[in-house]
């Protein structure tokens, strides 16, 4: 299984790999060492360190303006870093111009050359690598087959749909076997149906070719479904890195909990040295703190909407509230529940009996193990 | 009642607008039409009434060595101006749109300035400068002057087009391994073609029919078409001038027109075929 490793806050032990050291088989595909990126006085990225293993699919996820695209562009050399180092395959690239970096880049807006045919677009990178002509034709043909658009060589980009154009852009970026494939929100310009199809396709092609891919998105679903590792970014810094399941199930910070899947956040104070929490709304719930906590300290309890069960059950924790709104989704229903004290919860539960209506009383059950505790600074207690 | 009256008023307003419009067009085009029509007049005098149809004035023109020399001079000055101005204008526009550098605003203003300064002032100014450094008036000065006059327009046209070409195309080319020069040559320049052609045609026209500045700059004994017409007018209003004027109109209107048509058919070729819908 391809893996991305993070060594936070600093990569590996200092001096393990000297800057500019020769590429080795096990050097990471891309490595950031304490990079800072600033536009004038505005600091877009600060103190960012990350090491990406060869062949893995890593997603930079975050809201717009969090610095994820800036980081991606810094790998390509389209953005200058103000501090730190970027290594590609063990080679320091800070001073290498973009056209010598051997990187495949896919843009949100496709960026196919409008005056060139599909063949010339895809062949562009090969031409500048002095690949002989028959070899170019063979490789372009193969790349077009890979993106399931064989025989489209003579068409112009304007004759293709958005989805087709993005596939050609993908073929153009991988045909010369770059060391890293960078994808800058490649799906956001597509309509919803195409987006899901392309998601599967990109992931499939990445696996087939074994290329290292770095994907930038603000869409949590894309991130969760495609990535080996997700790097959650906020305000120019890394919030958490982990497998999709890790970041979703055990968010490291309040930001991650909220950004991925809109978790419920309940304020409260610790009692029974971390085995229970008295909520601000008055109820007491059992929690399972991984370490003893001082009674009376303030915490936030995070519970995913999917962790609630509706109706009578065997769960330890029980909350009662009033349904504010209910949306029926077929297999499950999403309830907005008022539990008093101006606090509302969101529950996404499978439908066992009938769907409750607005104004009805609802019983919610959940286990202590489903509760994640955050301290006053919004950091997970572990 | 009221409504009917308002309708009546509206109709009159429209008629008045139409009348004024027609008058303006007559005022603008009547002299041109008169020149063209009179160039075919058989009469000795360059005015109405027409006495018959004749091509004799065109024949005389062809036999007039002075006129032919002036025509040749104007033609090659305009050609050189068009080529040099387009090269300067396109690269300047590229730099102004794509790069950040100190004094960019100043350069941008400076480049446009010759279009804002009255031509006569520019003509005298360059002449004074040449005298100050004690250089003779040469053809080079004349060509440089025309380039100076045409550059602002070419820069403006190329700049407008350049802004429309998204930077992402160049970034894509760079990421695929093309150097900055290669990506300009292979991606940006072809996308700039309409501006390049348009700019060249405009520069040609500006140079070809420039009168006032050329009067100051031309070396002794050299005439361009407009100055030739002017000096012929000093002697007499001969029908030959009408014929010459018609030729001038043909060149200055015809060249941009033909260029525009060629460009249009080129873009049509490129857009052939409607965008296809996704089949799956």
Could you tell me the CA-to-CA distances from A223 to A57, A245, B68 in Å, in that order?
Answer: 10, 11, 74
Please tell me the predicted confidence (pLDDT) of residue A288.
Answer: 84
> Quick check: B150 and B84 in contact, CB under 8 A?
no
Share of chain A above pLDDT 70, in %: 93
Asked if B187 lies within 8 A of A102 by C-beta distance, the reply is: no
**What is the distance between the alpha carbons of residues A176 and A72, in angstroms, rounded to a whole number?**
19
Q: Which residues of A touch B187 (CB under 8 A)?
A: 113
Q: Domains of chain B: which residue ranges?
A: 65-235
Other CB atoms closer than 10 Å to residue B253's CB: what's the count? 12
Count, in order, helices (H) and strands (E) of chain B. 12, 0
**Model confidence pLDDT, tens digit, residues A190-224:** 888 888 889 999 999 999 999 999 999 999 989 99
Instruction: Please report which confidence band the pLDDT of residue B209 belongs to, taking 50, 70 and 90 as the band edges.
Output: confident
Pick A159's closest partner by Cβ from B166, B172, B273.
B273
The answer to whether the Cβ–Cβ distance between A125 and B187 falls below 8 Å is no
A-contacting residues of B 156-175, CB under 8 Å? 166, 168-169, 171-175
Could you report the per-residue pLDDT of A221-237, keeping only the tens digit for each?
899 999 999 999 998 89
CA dist A122 and A150 (Å) reads: 12
Task: Note whether A107 contacts B276, CB cutoff 8 Å.
Answer: no
pTM: 0.76
Give the up-direction half-sphere exposure of residue A28: CA atoms within 13 A in the CB hemisphere.
26
CB contact under 8 A, B277 and A161: yes
Confidence of residue B212 (pLDDT cuts 50, 70, 90): confident
Look up the CATH superfamily of A262-374: Nucleic acid-binding proteins (2.40.50.140)
pLDDT reported for residue B219: 85
pLDDT at position A17 is: 39
Q: Determine the Cα–Cα distance for residues A215 and A230; give it in Å rounded to an integer.
A: 9
Residue B270's pLDDT band, with cuts at 50, 70 and 90, is low
Closest residue in A to B179 (Cα–Cα): A99
CB-nearest partner of B275 from A99, A104, A160:
A160
Chosen for mutation from A69, A108, A128 (greatest number of chain B CBs closer than 10 Å) is A128
Residue-level pLDDT at B133? 86
Q: Which residues, 6+ apart, have CB-to-CB distance to A148 below 8 Å?
A: A167, A201
pLDDT reading at B213 higher than 60: yes
Count of beta carbons in the 10 Å neighbourhood of residue A258: 15
| Contact: A102, B177; criterion CB under 8 Å | yes
Cβ neighbours of B168 in A, within 8 Å: 107, 109, 111
What's the CATH superfamily of B65-235? MetI-like (1.10.3720.10)
Looking at chain A, the domain(s) classified CATH 3.40.50.300 span 30-252
Per-residue pLDDT at A7 exceeds 70: no
Of residues B123 and A19, the one with the higher pLDDT is: B123
Q: Within 10 Å of residue B248's Cβ, how many Cβ atoms?
A: 18
Examine the predicted complex and report whether its ipTM is higher than 0.90: no
- The least confident of B86-95, B106-115, B120-129, B233-242 is B233-242
Contact between chains at A100 and B177 (C-beta distance less than 8 A):
yes
Please name the member of B171, B176, B177 whose beta carbon is closest to the beta carbon of A78: B171
Per-residue pLDDT at B272 exceeds 60: no
Residue contact B278–A78, C-beta within 8 A: no
- The yes-or-no verdict on residue A19 having pLDDT over 60 is no
pLDDT more than 90, % of chain A: 44
Q: Which two tokens stand for residue B38?
A: 């009179």
Q: How far apart are CA A8 and CA A51, in angstroms?
A: 9
According to DSSP, the β-strands at A212-217 and A57-61 are: parallel
Residue A272: other Cβ atoms inside 10 A: 15
Q: Who's near B166: CB < 8 A, 6+ residues apart? A: A109, A111
For the stretch A124-144, pLDDT in tens is: 999 999 999 999 999 999 999
Establish, for the pair of chains A and B, how many residue pairs have beta carbons separated by less than 8 Å: 80
Distance CA A325, CA A335 (A): 6
Q: Give contacts of A130 with chain B, Cβ < 8 Å.
A: none
Q: Is the pLDDT of residue B11 over 50?
A: yes
Which chain B residue has the Cα nearest residue A177? B176
CATH number of the A30-252 domain: 3.40.50.300
Residue contact A113–B182, C-beta within 8 A: no
What is the overall mean pLDDT for chain B?
85
Q: Which of A128, A158, A176 sits opposite B275 (nearest CB)?
A: A158
Q: From A79, which residue of chain B is nearest by alpha-carbon distance?
A: B171
What pLDDT sits at residue A15? 35
Write phi, then psi, for A112 (nearest 5 degrees). Answer: -75, 145
Q: What pLDDT shows up at residue A295?
A: 84
Cβ <8 Å between A113 and B274: no
| Averaged pLDDT for residues B90-112 | 89
Task: State whether residue B177 sits within 8 Å of chain A by CB.
Answer: yes
Neighbouring C-beta atoms of residue B110, cutoff 10 Å: 11
pLDDT digits (tens, 9 = 90+) for A261-313: 888 898 888 888 778 888 888 888 888 888 888 888 889 999 998 888 888 77
Indicate the SS3 state at residue A298: strand
Check if the beta carbon of residue A339 is closer than 8 Å to that of residue A281.
yes
pLDDT of residue A3: 46
Of the given ranges (A334-338, B147-151, B234-238, B247-251), which has the lowest mean pLDDT?
B234-238
Confidence band of B217 (pLDDT split at 50, 70, 90): confident
Residue-wise pLDDT for A301-353, tens only, equals 999 988 888 887 778 888 888 999 998 888 888 999 998 878 888 998 888 77
- CA pair distance A60, B246, nearest whole angstrom: 68
Residue A341 or residue A179, greater confidence: A179
Handedness of CA A215, A220, A224, A225 (dihedral sign): negative
Confidence tier at B40 by pLDDT (50, 70, 90): confident
> With bands split at pLDDT 50, 70 and 90, how would you rate the model's confidence at B271?
low
B269 interface with A at CB cutoff 8 Å: no
Positive or negative, the Cα torsion across B137, B140, B146, B148? negative
CA distance A377 to chain B (A): 40
Q: pLDDT averaged over chain A? A: 86
| Section B165-185 average pLDDT | 91
Cβ-nearest to B176 among A97, A125, A156: A125
The answer to whether the Cβ–Cβ distance between B177 and A99 falls below 8 Å is: yes
Chain-chain contact of A156 with B177 (C-beta, under 8 angstroms): no
- CB contacts of B177 in chain A (<8 Å) are 99-100, 102, 125, 128-129, 176
Q: pLDDT value at position B47?
A: 66
Distance from CA of B185 to the nearest CA of A (A): 13
């Amino acid at each position: 299984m391809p893996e991305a490793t993070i060594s936070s806050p600093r990569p590996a032990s200092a001096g393990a790999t000297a800057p500019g050291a020769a590429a080795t088989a096990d050097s990471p595909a891309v490595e950031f060492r304490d990079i800072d990126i600033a536009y004038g006085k505005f600091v877009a990225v600060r103190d960012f360190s990350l090491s990406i293993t060869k062949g893995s699919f890593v997603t930079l996820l975050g809201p717009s303006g969090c610095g994820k695209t800036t980081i991606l562009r810094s790998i390509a050399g389209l953005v200058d870093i103000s501090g730190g180092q970027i290594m590609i395959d063990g080679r320091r690239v800070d001073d290498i111009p973009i056209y010598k970096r051997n990187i495949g880049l896919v843009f949100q807006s496709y960026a196919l050359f409008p005056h060139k045919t599909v063949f010339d677009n895809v062949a562009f990178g090969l031409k500048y690598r002095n690949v002989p002509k028959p070899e170019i034709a063979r490789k372009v043909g193969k790349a077009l087959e890979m993106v399931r658009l064989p025989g489209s060589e003579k068409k112009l980009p304007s004759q293709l749909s958005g989805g087709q154009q993005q596939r050609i852009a993908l073929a153009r970026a991988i045909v010369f076997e770059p060391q890293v494939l960078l994808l800058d929100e490649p799906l956001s310009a597509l309509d919803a149906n195409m987006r899901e199809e392309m998601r599967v396709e990109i992931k499939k092609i990445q696996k087939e070719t074994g290329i290292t891919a770095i994907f930038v998105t603000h869409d949590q679903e894309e991130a969760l479904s495609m990535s080996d590792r997700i790097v959650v970014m906020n305000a120019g810094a890394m919030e958490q890195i982990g497998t999709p399941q890790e970041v979703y199930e055990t968010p490291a910070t309040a930001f991650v909990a909220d950004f991925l899947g809109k978790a419920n956040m309940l304020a409260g104070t610790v009692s029974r040295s971390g085995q229970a929490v008295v909520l601000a709304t008055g109820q007491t719930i059992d929690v399972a703190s991984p370490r003893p906590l001082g009674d009376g300290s303030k915490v936030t309890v995070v519970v995913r909407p999917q962790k609630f069960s509706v109706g009578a059950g065997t769960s330890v924790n029980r909350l009662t509230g009033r349904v504010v709104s209910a949306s029926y989704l077929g297999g499950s229903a999403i309830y907005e529940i008022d539990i008093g004290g101006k606090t509302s919860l969101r529950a996404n539960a499978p439908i066992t009996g009938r769907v409750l209506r607005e104004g009805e009383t609802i019983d919610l059950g959940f286990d202590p193990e489903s509760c994640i505790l955050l301290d006053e600074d919004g950091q997970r207690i572990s | 009642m009221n409504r009917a009256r308002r309708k009546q008023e509206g109709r009159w307003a429209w008629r008045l607008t139409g009348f004024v419009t027609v008058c303006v067009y007559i005022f603008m085009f009547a002299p041109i039409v008169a020149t063209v029509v009179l160039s075919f007049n058989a009469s000795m005098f360059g005015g109405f009434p027409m006495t018959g149809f004749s091509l004799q004035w065109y024949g005389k023109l062809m036999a007039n060595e002075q006129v032919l020399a002036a025509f040749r001079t104007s033609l090659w000055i305009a050609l050189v101006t068009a080529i040099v101005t387009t090269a300067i204008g396109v690269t300047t526009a590229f730099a102004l749109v794509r790069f950040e550098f100190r004094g960019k605003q100043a350069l941008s203003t400076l480049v446009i300035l010759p279009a804002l300064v009255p031509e006569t002032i520019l003509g005298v100014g360059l002449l004074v400068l040449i005298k100050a450094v004690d250089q003779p008036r040469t053809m080079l000065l004349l060509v440089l002057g025309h380039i100076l006059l045409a550059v602002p327009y070419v820069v403006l046209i190329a700049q407008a087009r350049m802004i429309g070409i998204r930077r992402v195309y160049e970034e894509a080319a760079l990421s695929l391994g093309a150097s900055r020069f290669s990506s300009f040559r292979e991606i940006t320049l072809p996308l700039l073609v309409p501006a390049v052609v348009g700019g060249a045609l405009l520069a040609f026209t500006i140079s070809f029919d420039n009168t006032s500045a050329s009067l100051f700059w031309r070396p002794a004994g050299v005439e361009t078409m407009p100055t030739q017409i002017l000096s012929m007018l000093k002697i007499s209003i001969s029908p030959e001038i009408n014929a010459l004027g018609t030729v001038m109109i043909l060149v200055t209107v015809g060249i941009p027109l033909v260029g525009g048509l060629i460009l249009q058919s080129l873009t049509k070729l490129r857009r052939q075929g409607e965008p296809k819908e996704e089949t799956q």
